Amino acid sequence: MEICLFFLLHFRRHDLLESGEICSHTLPNPHSHICLDDSLEWASPLPSILPSLPRNLLHETTICRREARPAFPRWVFVLLCRLSYPQPRSLDQKRLDVLTLTPWLAPIVWEGTFNSELLDSAYKPLNLTIGVTAFAIGKYTMFVGRFVESAEKLFMKGYRVNYYIFTNDPQVIPRVQLQPGRSLSIVPIKKYSHWQEISMRRMEAINRHIAEVSHREVNYLFCLDIDMVFHNPWGVETLGEMVAAIHPGYYNVPRSQFPYERRSSSAAFIPDSQGDFYYAGAVFGGLLKQVYEFTRACHMTILADKANGIMAAWQEESHLNKRFFSHKPSKLLSPEYVWDDTKPKPPEVRLIRFSTVNKDYKEIRD
Ligand code: UDP
Ligand code: MN
């Protein structure tokens, strides 16, 4: 497969001089037509005035000069970009040290298994908006600044992103400078008195917010813990119908040792002999409709337990694990996407993309 992007350049000279941004928005879109109204002198310096064009697109680029139509400026340049990348080999597995496909054929995303440029060339033209929910209730408002600042540098770079920060204390949420095309809304929410209840009620709140607001605004939604920081890029390789993340503490542990809810009286019950992976409650996502169904189902089983006076071993994380056991996720994120800073980095985790902030539980939980 070969992807070709054609561009007819017809910006005026001063546009181009200040057009780093225009170019980065326009060039990845194969339907763009850009024209340039100046003469020959642009032919050779052209690549250097397109600072945001990825280097590996440029090295395959040829620039042709053509006489323009009279209505057009004197010269029109056609920039032909060909995205070149190594051939996928049927008999060559990129990672041999980790599982990259579940038995139900869902990919498991590890560094080295995907090509970001190729994925971007497929996803950019879709003009997607990706939502993020994160809760900052009580003292957890202290995590918002670092979370959003790091996400602005590393989360879905170049895509439209809407952050939805659920909080009981809107005034203390810091205003972070956002990249173009990105927005942050505060969702006021009441504070439950116990941290377990705060954590569990996220399923209900996300579900309601999808129905009332975000279904109109975003295509995909990720639901993330706020006590986390991005350290490396997190891009469209993570998009899928329903996405779960493998918990960093249990990816190399027999399922009988997973901290699933083991009491059969709980709706989150999974017996010792069953289970696929232990998933983190701090990261899940997917298509809006799927996340709506998922959060509704988890909220329902949480309410069922509540009616029976039971709280699952790891609150909503136990219910999330039960749901992902009966309704398998379509894509899994490796622990690169939900690491724990207190753990040393093993060789199979080539880079840590998103990780917890060390916190003093006694200090921040009421
Ligand atoms: N949370 C909150 N206020 C609280 C407790 C929890 O806002 O008092 C939210 C916050 O988004 C947090 C998430 O619920 O990241 C899960 O709680 P926590 O991170 O403490 O759980 P852990 O990851 O330590 O299991
Ligand atoms: Mn957390």
pLDDT per residue, tens digit, the chain (366 aa), is: 333 333 434 343 333 333 333 333 334 333 333 333 333 333 334 444 444 544 444 333 333 333 433 443 333 343 444 578 999 999 999 999 999 999 999 999 999 999 999 999 999 999 999 999 999 999 999 999 999 999 999 999 999 999 999 999 999 999 999 999 999 999 999 999 999 999 999 999 999 999 999 999 999 999 999 999 999 999 999 999 999 999 999 999 999 999 999 999 999 999 999 999 999 999 999 999 999 999 999 999 999 999 999 999 999 999 999 999 999 999 999 999 999 988 999 999 999 999 999 888 888 887
- Tell whether ligand 1 has an atom less than 6 A from the beta carbon of residue 138: yes
- Tell whether ligand 1 has an atom less than 6 A from the beta carbon of residue 198: yes
Active-site residue identified among 317, 336, 348, 363 = 317
| Atom number of ligand 1 nearest to Cα 199 | 14
Residue 117 falls in the annotated catalytic set: no
State the Cα–Cα distance between residues 220 and 234, nearest whole angstrom. Answer: 14
Give the CA distances from residue 347 to residues 111, 350, 351, 352, in Å, rounded to whole numbers and listed in that order.
12, 6, 9, 11
- Ligand 2 centroid to Cα of residue 178, in Å, is 24
- Tell whether ligand 1 has an atom less than 6 A from the beta carbon of residue 225: yes
- Ligand 1 centroid to Cα of residue 225, in Å, is 6
Alpha helices in 247-364 (DSSP H): 288-307, 315-326, 361-364
Report the pLDDT value the prediction gives residue 59, as an integer from 0 to 100. Answer: 33
Q: Which residue has the tokens 């029976």?
A: 308
- Tell whether ligand 1 has an atom less than 6 A from the beta carbon of residue 226: yes
Q: Alpha-carbon torsion 42, 47, 52, 53, what sign?
A: positive
Report the pLDDT value the prediction gives residue 82, as an integer from 0 to 100. Answer: 58
Helices and strands, counts by H and E, the chain: 10, 13
> Both tokens of residue 32?
């763009």
> Both tokens of residue 355?
């990780």
Q: Alpha-carbon torsion 325, 327, 332, 338, what sign?
A: negative
Q: Whose CA is nearest to atom 17 of ligand 1?
A: 199
State the Cα–Cα distance between residues 238 and 350, nearest whole angstrom. Answer: 17
Going by C-beta distance under 8 Å and a sequence separation of 6 or more, which residues neighbour residue 163?
Answer: 131, 132, 134, 148, 151, 182, 183, 184, 185
Task: Note the ligand closest to the C-alpha atom of 136.
Answer: 1
- Tell whether ligand 1 has an atom less than 6 A from the beta carbon of residue 136: yes
Going by C-beta distance under 8 Å and a sequence separation of 6 or more, which residues neighbour residue 90?
Answer: none
State the Cα–Cα distance between residues 23 and 32, nearest whole angstrom. Answer: 10
Report the pLDDT value the prediction gives residue 8, as an integer from 0 to 100. Answer: 38
Alpha helices in 85-177 (DSSP H): 116-123, 144-154
Q: What is the CA angle 188-194-199, rounded to 5?
A: 60
- Ligand 1 centroid to Cα of residue 133, in Å, is 13
